[in-house]
Amino acid sequence: MTRKEVLENRQALMNVTSRGRPPHPSLIVALPLPKDVNVSFEFFPPTTEKAEQSLWACVERLAPVNPSFVSVTYGAGGTTRERTHETVVALARDTDLAAAAHLTCVGSKKHEIRDIAERYWNAGIRHIVALRGDAPAGDRPYRPLTDGYAYASDLVADLKAINDFEISVAAYPEGHPEAASGEADLDNLKRKIDAGATRAITQYFFDPDVYLRFLDRARAAGIHVPIVPGILPVTNFKQVQKFSGLSGTALPDWLAGLFDGLDDDAETRKLVAASVAAEQCRVLHASGVKDFHFYTLNRADLTFAICHMLGVRPDIEPNGITN
Ligand SMILES: Cc1cc2nc3c(=O)[nH]c(=O)nc-3n(C[C@H](O)[C@H](O)[C@H](O)COP(=O)(O)OP(=O)(O)OC[C@H]3O[C@@H](n4cnc5c(N)ncnc54)[C@H](O)[C@@H]3O)c2cc1C
């Protein structure tokens, strides 16, 4: 190819790439930094002293970005009843964060759940993430105890009758695996809202369109409370692959491709994970989403980086003075 042809080719390429486009490349991260994002963080109760230190280091790093609330999960099968309680109460007592307790129906009779709810209320906890939970492996599907709650909607109604808790519930953009149909699952979400829940938090998903289509369907079904996307920064793809089978979350091929070959390279997996989740959030924000709930897995670094890219930052002036 002659030099003239090379120059002509380059010019043709530039004409193609710049035609009708703004001067910036079409990178989503080149859009103006959001200034209207609210975040919340989910932690799990620690089981060892080391895990406890990790949790509090995570809380210390993330608290300065001012989450609207933080929540603490309730172990599968109700196994962390006391630890969840201790962690939520410590968050409320020792930090300025608004702390919420997850509570499931598994393995408990109604009067036991009512006692737990009263204890939370008396400890100043006003926000419950009310869930049905899952039966332990080998004992599925879930069957309520005699005098237990069959569904989360029953738990929501009862919690509201006990005290005026703020209640969040779970939503499933790809449908709950046990639901008879997508429509039946939306009916169930509506029942939970009608029973008194004021927010839904979604199961994690990876394709923003999946969430946006679900949001449209929910609005059309008359559900008008915030439906906050649950964001899972994936650092261990193999683990997520296993869990997604149970939770019914689709793992797109492109995601598998991005993590391919990184099984023994945790550092690179982290970089990939932050970039995937940040792009997911920025695409959602560009579609009008302003609230995000992060499954932190008690690790701050990725969530902190993604918050930073969403314009959610500690209240620190450039000169280092805290607001
Ligand atoms: C944000 C979030 C946080 C979570 N936190 C925890 C946690 O801390 N601990 C934990 O163990 N698990 C947790 N989970 C997982 C959750 O417990 C499971 O997904 C569980 O299988 C369903 O809980 P649910 O509250 O959505 O149940 P429900 O809303 O009761 O729904 C369960 C199933 O029953 C169906 N259903 C509901 N009502 C009826 C009805 N009247 N007739 C027929 N079918 C009906 C629904 O469509 C659905 O398939 C969480 C999930 C999410 C999304």
Res 132: pLDDT: 97
Res 13: pLDDT: 44
Residue 305, classed as helix, strand or coil, is: helix
Q: What is the reported pTM?
A: 0.91
Q: 237: Cβ below 6 Å to ligand 1?
A: no
| C-alpha count within 13 angstroms, C-beta hemisphere, residue 92 | 20
Residue 205, judged by CB atoms within 10 A of its CB (0-12, 13-18, 19+), counts as buried
Q: Rounded to whole angstroms, what are the CA distances from 181 to 176, 190, 207, 223, 292?
A: 9, 14, 20, 17, 26
Q: Is 49 a catalytic residue?
A: no
Number of residues written out for the chain: 323
Res 323: pLDDT: 45
Res 318: pLDDT: 52
Beta bridge mates, 322: 316
Q: In this structure, what DSSP letter does residue 266 have? A: H
Q: Class of 29-309 per CATH? A: alpha beta
Task: Given the residues 42, 60, 118, 267, select the one marked as catalytic.
Answer: 42
Q: Which atom of ligand 1 is nearest to the CA of 169?
A: 25
Quote the strand ranges of the chain, DSSP E: 38-43, 69-72, 99-104, 127-131, 166-171, 199-202, 227-228, 230-231, 291-295
pLDDT (tens digit, 0 to 9) for every residue of the chain, 323 residues total?
555 654 555 455 444 444 545 455 578 888 899 999 999 999 999 999 999 999 999 999 999 999 999 999 998 777 788 999 999 999 999 999 999 999 999 999 999 999 999 999 999 999 999 999 998 877 778 888 999 999 999 999 999 999 999 999 999 999 999 999 999 999 999 999 999 999 999 999 999 999 999 999 999 999 999 999 999 999 889 899 988 888 889 999 999 999 999 999 999 999 999 999 999 999 999 999 999 999 999 999 999 999 999 999 997 655 544 44
Chain centroid to CA 179: how far? Answer: 21
Res 317: pLDDT: 55
Q: How far apart are CA 235 and CA 186, in angstroms?
A: 30
Domain residue spans in the chain?
Answer: 29-309
CA nearest ligand 1 atom 19, residue: 133
CA nearest ligand 1 atom 16, residue: 133
Res 8: pLDDT: 59
CB 38 within 8 A of CB 68: yes
